[in-house]
Every structure is written in C-alpha cells, then in structure tokens.
C-alpha cells in the first residue's frame, strides 16, 4: 500500500535533523581558528629551535602563549573529530562498525586533548 502514497508524503518528516548545519558551522569555525593560530604556532616553534629547556618552559608558561596554545589544541582536536566523523559517515556503511569507529574517534580525540591540556597546565603551573 505504501507504493500508492505520494513521494512527498513519504519523505515528509524524514528530512534533516537540523544537526547538519550546526556541524558544518563548527567545522568552519574550528578551521578559521586553526588558520589563524597555525602561523603563530609554527612561528613559536621555530623561534624555540635550539633553545634550552628552561627557555622553552618559560616561553610556554606565559599566560598569553599558554592560552593560545590551549585554544589551538582544543580547536585542533575538535576539528579532527568533526572531520573524521564526516569521513566515517560517508564511507563506512556497516552500522555497528560505524558506531564503533565514531566512539573510538570521539574518545581518542577527547583523550588526546585532555592529555594536551594537562601538559600545558603542568608547564604553566610548574615553570
């Protein structure tokens, strides 16, 4: 009997869950943050080449540097998780594997970000 229904009636209510636009915006915002912070990050790393351990710690422990580094790390792992989520959704068609991979990616990105924040905190508070 479903073959007698109008295709529009069948499709109604099956549209976007209004989550795609939010995901798209988050990806763009994190990309802009990374585009702005990456040159600073590279400049900071290059300026520290050949520096001794204490100089590196004191440089990274400065409040502005530590804050920018934390924002960079947060944006980096968030952007990576969002991008990998899209890749998994597009190319993994086995439902259980897709769910498992999504969980692995989320927890791996969260774990790496937490480790990075702890490392930045240790540098800041023990320098």
> What per-residue confidence (pLDDT) applies to 14?
56
> What per-residue confidence (pLDDT) applies to 47?
96
Selected from 1.20.1300.10, 2.40.50.40, 1.10.10.10, 3.10.450.50, the CATH number assigned to the domain covering 19-126 reads: 1.20.1300.10
Which tens digit of pLDDT belongs to each residue from 64-110?
999 999 999 999 999 999 999 999 999 999 999 999 999 999 999 99
CA–CA gap between residue 60 and residue 2 (Å, rounded): 64
Give the global pTM. Answer: 0.82
Contact 59, 124 (CB under 8 A): no
Domain ranges for the chain, please list them: 19-126
CA–CA gap between residue 17 and residue 122 (Å, rounded): 41
Mean pLDDT of 101-125: 97
């Amino acid at each position: 009997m479903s073959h007698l229904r109008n295709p529009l009636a069948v499709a109604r209510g099956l549209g976007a869950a209004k989550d795609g636009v939010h995901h798209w915006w988050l990806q763009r915002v994190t990309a802009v943050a990374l585009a702005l912070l990456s040159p600073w990050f590279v400049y900071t790393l290059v300026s520290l080449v050949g520096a001794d351990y204490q100089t590196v710690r004191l440089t990274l422990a400065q409040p502005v540097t530590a804050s920018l580094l934390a924002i960079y790390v947060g944006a980096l792992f968030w952007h990576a998780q969002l991008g990998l989520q899209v890749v998994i959704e597009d190319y993994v068609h086995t439902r259980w594997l897709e769910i498992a991979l999504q969980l692995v990616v989320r927890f791996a990105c969260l774990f790496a970000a937490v480790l990075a924040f702890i490392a930045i905190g240790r540098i800041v508070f023990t320098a």
